[in-house]
Structure 1
């Protein structure tokens, strides 16, 4: 087996996008992939096919490797502790990752830290939910993403599916928010931290549709508060690597923490083309305990638009159309089969004028999604 500097668990697009900065830094990644042709396995030669819930598969990918990091948060904590006991360094560690894996644990810990959160409670029965009050957002504490495992309920009957799911549930107030923000930081084991510009993320159907960096018209004090919040959470939870703190900016100008992600995150993809050091490079630097790179923007504005599976099923054939029409757009395709609504890539445009940058990024994404300009 070839010598590798770090193991990455999970073969999705986040692992795929770690490979480019790894090449530049001379770091060799060994991948635990779900199958031979998943997104990251197409570009990382040293791949093992296995299951992240099977300890033997995790031990195989970690063999001879000091550092283990992740494309997702779903590795069982007991397996991570076993890897740590065997002398490997899971980064982030199981003590931190728990708060990205379990929304109930996250809410309890953040509340204990005095972090601003929506009003919330554990709910085990319809009676608990009725006592909490409507409208509410009911969430499975584990396993939900991109709108899955989340139910907006305005009356008791709408919660039937949530209670039937068998999942442990929490209820949160339905926040009257003006927009969603994301504050990202990279943190090393020694506590060195770098904060990225606070961005606005716009959702469609529970999935991130586009990201604008920096968040337009964001009050300077609020931007500073968001970055400080992310740095404090990273330190308090001892996160190593990238941390994304997804926030609500409320209608009355407050910040509330919505979700945490302890890995590179969709709201940071703009940084590949729009920042001095991308989130993927800084994730690698952080987990390998290398000095972090500056997160300063390269242009006044960066807009990232996700490419979700649509009418265009042959992305290869459509690529020359996009590059010819919007040559300055940076196109990132993930090597995935097109399925309706599936994230198959993203496009980023950077520049001086927000209206132009936004229009060009949307146009490029539309050409890859529906085949015609938006």
Structure 2
């Protein structure tokens, strides 16, 4: 009988798990939020992941449960574990990814490099942090923020008063030093429950308005000590937090040559999408292998360079599919991934990947391919 894997969440990450599941002969099932989800091809149930009974019913006859996102409540996760369901990553690991203050606290306890930070509950505490850090800082909501949402730069103590007003009892905002960095990097690894860990090359992430726009693999000028340090950080996070499945560690490379952890994602991540076309084993196949505790695959790249460009927003009229023939004709070597989403400003609706021996040429092809779907 085939392994049965249940994925909670019907977004593009679940969608991209479907092809490798088919190739491996896995029975993949998705609990989607809506009928028209990105992962609708594998959605065997539509329901609310906040509801314990809904999730228990979905998980009843699978070998392992994993996630398209980190938003499933802790009480639901722990009920699954109590019912004997294999949950990967575990509730304990996911708790660190679900709350940025918990994340900063645990990483600091492990001695891992993070920006200076504090949990603040009012303007007075924020003002003290600003005074100690040159008058500028980054404030983040502890939960729910992504792709630039729930993040702002402040230079005045009252710069987050609206967020303070919305805090419930016991809640706080995260404030961090405004890091001077030369670029953003990301290190992805995969870990299976029995302990095996593999890593992909360190990549560079290029941001636009707080959203990942491009990824270059490997990160230019990263070979040697920089790549070794990034991999060591990610392996330590995976081992010490007990992460199972794919882990992406987003990093700042600072102007004074440090690496600081920015964010963690305990699932396949946008910065790893290049692996579908550029690596021997994609992050999506690897995630499935890992959560089922199967031997992990080779992560070596096929080519010297891979460049992934996100399609943000999509065409003002029509669909990506309608524009696909023109792209195929002009750029037959690029790989297109359509997420099956309606176009919307700033929304990730797909990505384009180009690989090759010349970085400039691969970058041109990837950008030109993505441009077919925009405007």
Considering the TM-score relative to the shorter chain, is it more than 0.5?
A: yes
Distance 2:246 2:172 in 1: 27
Q: What residue in structure 1 maps to residue 239 of structure 2?
A: 235
Contact between 1:11 and 1:34, CA under 8 Å: does it hold in 2? yes
User: Does 2:115 align with 1:111?
Assistant: no
Other structure's SS at 2:310 match = strand
Regions of 4+ moved over 6 Å = none
Output the TM-score relative to the length of structure 1: 0.96
* RMSD (Å), alpha carbons: 1.3
| Structure 1 runs not aligned, ≥5 long | none
User: Does 2:232 align with 1:225?
Assistant: no
Residue among 71, 78, 85 paired with 2:82:
85
Q: What residue in structure 1 maps to residue 327 of structure 2?
A: 322
User: Does 2:349 align with 1:349?
Assistant: no
In the TM superposition, what is the alpha-carbon distance from 1:311 to its structure 2 partner?
3.8
Other structure's SS at 1:249 match = strand
Other structure's SS at 1:91 match = coil
Q: Deviations over 1:176-204 (max 9, x none)?
A: 00000000000000110000100000110
Change (3 A) 1:110 1:77: same
In the TM superposition, what is the alpha-carbon distance from 1:156 to its structure 2 partner?
2.2
Contact between 1:111 and 1:117, CA under 8 Å: does it hold in 2? yes
Distance 1:162 1:137 in 2: 13
In the TM superposition, what is the alpha-carbon distance from 1:165 to its structure 2 partner?
3.4
User: Does 2:144 align with 1:140?
Assistant: no
User: Does 2:152 align with 1:151?
Assistant: yes
Distance 2:173 2:158 in 1: 16
Matches within 5 A, 1:1-374: 5-41=4-40, 43-44=41-42, 46-133=43-130, 134-166=135-167, 168-314=172-318, 315-370=320-375
In the TM superposition, what is the alpha-carbon distance from 1:316 to its structure 2 partner?
1.6
Distance 2:100 2:368 in 1: 36
Contact between 1:350 and 1:357, CA under 8 Å: does it hold in 2? yes
In the TM superposition, what is the alpha-carbon distance from 1:151 to its structure 2 partner?
1.4
Contact between 2:2 and 2:25, CA under 8 Å: does it hold in 1? no
Q: Deviations over 1:288-310 (max 9, x none)?
A: 11000011110000000000114
In the TM superposition, what is the alpha-carbon distance from 1:160 to its structure 2 partner?
2.3
Other structure's SS at 1:88 match = coil
Q: Deviations over 1:306-346 (max 9, x none)?
A: 00114443212111111111111100000011111111000
Output the TM-score relative to the length of structure 2: 0.96
Distance 1:367 1:302 in 2: 19
Distance 1:66 1:86 in 2: 13
Contact between 1:151 and 1:162, CA under 8 Å: does it hold in 2? no
Change (3 A) 1:164 1:313: farther
In the TM superposition, what is the alpha-carbon distance from 1:252 to its structure 2 partner?
1.0
Distance 1:90 1:325 in 2: 44
In the TM superposition, what is the alpha-carbon distance from 1:220 to its structure 2 partner?
1.5
In the TM superposition, what is the alpha-carbon distance from 1:258 to its structure 2 partner?
0.2
In the TM superposition, what is the alpha-carbon distance from 1:60 to its structure 2 partner?
1.4
In the TM superposition, what is the alpha-carbon distance from 1:71 to its structure 2 partner?
0.0
Contact between 1:212 and 1:303, CA under 8 Å: does it hold in 2? yes
Q: Deviations over 1:254-289 (max 9, x none)?
A: 100000000000000000000000000000000011
Contact between 1:307 and 1:345, CA under 8 Å: does it hold in 2? yes
| Structure 2 runs not aligned, ≥5 long | none
Distance 1:63 1:172 in 2: 42
In the TM superposition, what is the alpha-carbon distance from 1:66 to its structure 2 partner?
2.3
Contact between 2:15 and 2:38, CA under 8 Å: does it hold in 1? yes
